[in-house]
Amino acid sequence: MKKKLFLIFLLLVAGTAVFLYFYKDGKLFKKIIGGKVISEGVIEYDITYPKMDPNSMMVQGLPDKAYLRFKNNDMVNDMSGMMGLISITYISKQSSKSVAQTLTLINKKYAAQITEEEMNKMNSDYISKVEAGKNVKELAGFKCKEAIVTLKSGETIYAYYTNDIGITNPNWSNPYKKIDGVLMDFQMERYGLAMHLKAKQVVAQEIDDNVFVITDDHKKIPFPELEKILIELNPSGN
């Protein structure tokens, strides 16, 4: 009788483990055993522009999607607008502590390395204070914590982040460096343009190392020169 009960117990344990492993592609199983859900893949964000009329012609030409590709704690953010005629990438490599930005403008390609001093100045101009919030919500299948963010302008915004994506120190090269988690719902303002990004889905997939490499067909220019081009492209400033 004891042997039968023990066998039934083993079968129940095994059946539960199989269910958890395959349920939602194994995410629940990985959370329960304490592992990170994903350490290599892509996060897709929807982009809106909170300080612009969503029905304006200017907004129609701006990017409505952004993608964060990550591997071995290296990351590349990219977005494009005007049917792909303009695209911007931001490459941050923790492995070499290097940051670069590229811009494709129709048939012209530019790239600039960003020095630590330039990066710190750019990032310190946006946020003055970050406090832990009390709310929790699910975004793209991940439990996300709330952060209350005070901008240098005095405006208060709310960001949400998760600790269930395996990127160490994910915000080391952006203004949210005080938040130890992957941003899933947040606002960013660059070149006078405020963008709200909200994670739509997270996909586990192999990332080619070449996405972190700037190809030779890019014209290398100083970062201030690249910034000047981007400021001139800002539709809200023209």
Q: Which residues contact residue 108 at a Cβ distance below 8 angstroms, ignoring those fewer than 6 apart?
A: 219
Q: Residue 162: what pLDDT?
A: 96
Q: Residue 10: what pLDDT?
A: 39
Whether the predicted pLDDT of 18 surpasses 60: no
For the segment 85-136, what is each residue's pLDDT rounded down to a tens digit? 789 999 999 888 899 999 998 889 999 999 999 998 888 888 999 999 999 9
The pLDDT-based confidence of 234 (bands split at 50, 70, 90) is low
Percent of the chain with pLDDT over 90: 59
Q: Residue 236: what pLDDT?
A: 53
pTM score, whole prediction = 0.80
Q: Calculate the average pLDDT of the chain.
A: 82
Domains of the chain: which residue ranges?
2-32, 40-237
Q: Residue 52: what pLDDT?
A: 82
User: For residues 199 and 185, is the Cβ–Cβ distance under 8 A?
Assistant: yes
Phi, psi of 228 (to 5 degrees): -60, -40
Please tell me which residue, 124 or 209, carries the higher pLDDT value.
209
The pLDDT-based confidence of 20 (bands split at 50, 70, 90) is very low
Distance of CA 78 to the CA centre of its chain: 9
For the segment 29-49, what is each residue's pLDDT rounded down to a tens digit? 444 333 456 889 999 999 999
Q: Residue 61: what pLDDT?
A: 73
Q: What is the length of the chain?
A: 238
Number of H helices, E strands in the chain: 5, 12
Average pLDDT of span 170-198 = 92
Distance of CA 94 to the CA centre of its chain: 15
Q: CA 139 to CA 185: how far, in whole Å? A: 8
DSSP 167: -
Is 9 exposed, middle or buried (CB count within 10 Å of its CB: 0-12, 13-18, 19+)?
Answer: exposed
CATH code of 40-237, in short, is 2.50.20
Q: Residue 30: what pLDDT?
A: 41
Q: CA 181 to CA 147: how far, in whole Å? A: 11
For the segment 105-116, what is each residue's pLDDT rounded down to a tens digit? 888 999 999 999
For the segment 147-160, what is each residue's pLDDT rounded down to a tens digit? 999 998 899 999 99
